[in-house]
Structure 1
Amino acid sequence: MKKDPFRLSPYEVQWLLVVGFAAVGYAVYLRYMAVEMSAVALACDAGSQTMLCKSRLVATYLFKNSVFGIAAIVIALLNLLRPSIVLITGAVIAAGLGIVLYNIALSGIAIGLLILGFARPAPATA
């Protein structure tokens, strides 16, 4: 029984583009409007209970513990073993958040593993 290699359909590629841009866009918003903006940092440290402060608190906890990068590597390794659109989507989200939110090294390795997941032998010609 011959197994066909994993290939993305055009709709899946469009889905990954939308999800990737959304993840990176949210990460840029979170980094520059919540984490690095001093007025927001002072307000949150003073005890403000807004949704932006809670998002800032969660994001800083996650990137200080390298959760984005580790999650991206684990999902990319799983995708390398058994590729699927669900794993690629999760890895793109985690790597996109990690690249922008200070987990650059681990997320870069995960992106390399995602690219390696698409490396497959050329189809045999008859």
Structure 2
Amino acid sequence: MRLYRPDPRAIHVLLIVGFCSIGYALYLRYMAIEQSSVGLACQAGLTTWLCSTRQIVTSLFNHSVFGWTAVILAVLHLIRPSSVLFAAALATGCLGVVLYNVALSSLALSLLVFSFARRAPEPA
């Protein structure tokens, strides 16, 4: 029985995906969402990409989209292991943890860790 384990190239890609998503989420949270000057400027009618991104991300985390997407992708990865599903679940899970969807995103990330105990799919 061979357990699911990404190859070294996929591990490097997953590290890059994880760190980039955490970095972008931290940038959005502390430079766009939580800064009162940016919030006031955006509410006053400033139309920049930062204000548009701030509005979209705020509506997404208000509806727990990051968390639910991460959970769905992690469950799909648990059923059928794939590096692409792992990367997508990791990215949305990292975004959700930083952007106020901690409970669902933590569940998704724990399912990703749990998926390492899953048997690898048989080659066709």
Tell me the TM-score normalized by structure 2.
0.93
1:73-112 aligned at under 5 Å gives the runs 73-112=71-110
**Identical counterparts, % of pairs:** 50
User: Gapped runs of 5+ residues in structure 1?
Assistant: 122-126
Unmatched 5+ stretches in structure 2: 120-124
CA RMSD of aligned residues (A): 1.2
Moved beyond 3 Å, runs of 4+ = none
* d(CA) in 2 for partners of 1:6, 1:76: 14
Aligned length, in residue pairs = 119
Amino acid at match of 1:70: W
- Structure showing greater Rg: 1
Q: TM-score, normalised by structure 1?
A: 0.91
Cα deviation code 1:27-81 (max 9, x no counterpart): 0000000000000000000010000000000000000000000000000000000
Give the Cα–Cα distance (whole angstroms) in 1 for the partners of residues 118 and 53 of structure 2.
40
Greater relative contact order (CA < 8 Å, ≥ 6 in sequence): 2
Amino acid at match of 1:38: S
